[in-house]
Structure 1
Amino acid sequence: MNVEHEVKLLVEEIQRLGSKNTDGQVSVKFGVLFHDDRCANIFEALVGTLKAAKRKKVISFQGELLLQGVHDDVDITLLQE
């Protein structure tokens, strides 16, 4: 798995599904990303890709790990485009 490529695809999907917040940054709810059919086909391990992107400071979100259902309303904010 090419992590750089996966993170690049994640950025594209956040831009596609997200909207600008009050700070002018693009953000999307985890549930929207998780339940999107296109994302489901692209990412085998969405949570792993999110963790890798957070480590690289490409995105930010509250907490360490996002779980479907429990964290559906957590915002994922794009820090780099």
Structure 2
Amino acid sequence: MNVEHEVQLLKEEIKRLGTQAEDGHPEVTFGVLFNDEKCANLFEALVGTLRAAKRKKIVTYEGELLLQGVHDNVKIKLLQVDD
């Protein structure tokens, strides 16, 4: 799958599932994103898409690798809202 396309879908899902942080950027926890049925069907490799988006400075979160269960409460913040 095209990484650019997956990152665009990720942005849309963070907006859909997330809440607005104090700085105005949408954010969602990894657990909410990972456990969402629509996201499960959209992303073959959610963690890989998140890492690609983080490298491009589209999202930010603590750590490098997010694992279900262990990192469910890690907040993922969308830095690039409009494109």
Q: Structure 2 length as normaliser, TM-score? A: 0.96
Match of 1:73 in 2: 73
Match of 1:29 in 2: 29
Tell me the distance in 1 between the aligned counterparts of 2:54 and 2:6: 13
Tell me the distance in 2 between the aligned counterparts of 1:35 and 1:60: 19
Provide the secondary structure at the position in 2 that maps to 1:11.
helix
Q: Equivalent residues in 2 for 1:2-81 (5 A)?
A: 2-81=2-81
Provide the secondary structure at the position in 1 that maps to 2:7.
helix
Measured after TM superposition, the shift of residue 16 of structure 1 is: 0.1
Number of residue pairs aligned between Structure 1 and Structure 2: 81
* Structure 2 portions without partners, runs of 5+: none
Name the aligned partner's letter for residue 27 of structure 2.
Answer: S
Instruction: State percent identity of aligned pairs.
Output: 69
Q: Structure 1 length as normaliser, TM-score? A: 0.98
Measured after TM superposition, the shift of residue 67 of structure 1 is: 0.2
Tell me the distance in 2 between the aligned counterparts of 1:40 and 1:60: 20
Tell me the distance in 1 between the aligned counterparts of 2:21 and 2:47: 22
